[in-house]
A and B are shown apart, each in its own frame.
Chain A
Amino acid sequence: MPPPTSDPIQARLEQLLRDYGARVRRLLQSHGLDQRGIDPADVEQEVRIRLWRAIERDRSAAFHASYIQRVVATTVVDALRRAEVRAAEPLPDEDSEASPLPDAAAGPDRQASDSERMDDLARCLDSIPERRRLPITLHLQGFSLQEIADSVGVSAEAARKLVSRGMDELKSRLRECGHGEFDE
């Protein structure tokens, strides 16, 4: 990043990028992307640097919102890929001091139970026809009815019906697998 400047217009530009970067960092945290092995502060810094370089490279260029969005998306994707590579690297030796401690909140019983539930959930979802499965999985992934409607290519009302009926069907199948507590 450039050194602090006394030029008011330059200072204003720096402030704009700082504010935007801070907004990106907050959204990364609120969307839980910091739980995926990336550091929001690093991403914020990288977004600011990339935007700054783009502005310096071509001052006469018009920066559309979609371009700025792409800069953010590229930066986050790069960070996620780096995190995946780090996660795939072999664990340190046992005698090294950085050996991770097991999660105390998740005991062995709970971990086994969650694993069993996940396997049953995957089986139940696989048994639902594709056309109804996609709206359910998008809903479970946190997309709104309108977003699901846009993705599947139906109206919002049709998406609501698809999700509602699909969830009922999924719960019914889970109940058959012995997971009645989902229906409480």
Chain B
Amino acid sequence: MSGLASRPTAATSAAKIARSALSCAFVALGLSGCDDGDSPLSSGTELLVVTGYLFAGEPVGEVDVSVTVPLDSESEVAPAVNDARLVLTVNETSYELELALGDSGRYAYPAGDLTVMPGDALSLRVERGDMVVRAATVVPPAPVNLTVSAERLVVEPDTAFAGFGGFGRFARQGEDAGETLTVSWEAEEDARYFVTIENVEADPDSVESLIARPPGSFASPLMRGNSLAIQSLFIGFYGTHEVRVFRVTEEYAALEAFRFQNLDELAEPPTNIENGLGIFTAFSSAVVEFEVVRPD
């Protein structure tokens, strides 16, 4: 039997070490009992937010630059960034954008004569202090073979109360009198489009109506199809209307899908802004016209 008395000398030394080590551990607590009390909301990193939409065939428009707002900020208005350097590269040729208005955070190409075309590769570099964000996109192809089913759309003034079947009457009018136009185009698989309808008259006559009609312009939601039916209900004015079908990029389609954020889930739209947030994208469009007329 070996008892405690027979421990080797090394163990005695080890005992001292162990006692010291255990003591050290308890001394350490005296150094660590404080609470910094920092707000967890102040730890967020400020990020640049870029919003840039370019349209094929049109002069390069404005690119907005702002920053994220901390959650504990008194204001939810995003501060505009006016001291950034923006460089737009179109097919490997770079152009510097300049602040367009005083305190707007809005940048544009000063000469106003730079346009982009379908298929152009675009990239944007935004520098602000140590922050550098990049984004890239390709101008999508424009919709092709855009046609409208009729050149004229007859819209009857709606000055009499139609009863509870009023909306049905409008629908029937559209079917019976042929007062629905269909705009169609060749759609590519998985491509997304949206359609705008705009009265281009300088001083158009409005459609007399008891119900609220849309203003002079209308924009459809994003859609996958290859056609859109334009009913007379969409129309608020007589005269020439321009129908423009826009092809959008995947990044814009993704942003649209997250238009309303659920604050319980916090799903955010994907972004093509590297090291930042927002979107930089381009649109291509095709246009066709039709006339809105009164009944004969």
Are A and B interaction partners? no
Q: Chain B residues in contact with chain A, CB under 8 A? A: none
* A residues adjacent to B (C-beta < 8 A): none
